[in-house]
Amino acid sequence: MTMRQEIHCYIDDITESKLVVLRPLLLALANDSIVIEQNLTNEERSLIAQGMAAYEENPNDFIPLKKVN
């Protein structure tokens, strides 16, 4: 079985409600024009950490991804 077939089997076993979470990641991976940054600066890491902390403290202040798309 190829890796593609194996991953496809996993996707077939995921419920629709959980596929909502996977969809943006698959879209980003499939779209060659989207670049996934790998070499973040310390400033970028700090900004991400601040955003994650703010979300944990006040999740209701953020807009769900499905409302943005």
Domain span at residue 63? Answer: 3-28+40-68
Token pair for residue 20? Answer: 């909502």
Give the residue with greater pLDDT, 55 vs 64.
55
Residue 35 lies in a domain: no
Q: What pLDDT digit, counting tens, does each position of 5-24 carry?
A: 999 999 999 988 888 888 88
Residue 64 lies in a domain: yes
Query: Do 19 and 25 touch, CB atoms closer than 8 A?
Result: no
Q: How many domains does the chain have?
A: 1
pLDDT of 58 > 80? The answer is yes
Q: What pLDDT digit, counting tens, does each position of 22-39 carry?
A: 888 888 888 888 777 788
**Which pLDDT score is estimated for 62?**
82
CA dihedral 33, 36, 42, 47 (to 10 degrees): 80
**Which pLDDT score is estimated for 69?**
55
| Whole-number percent of the chain with pLDDT over 70 | 97
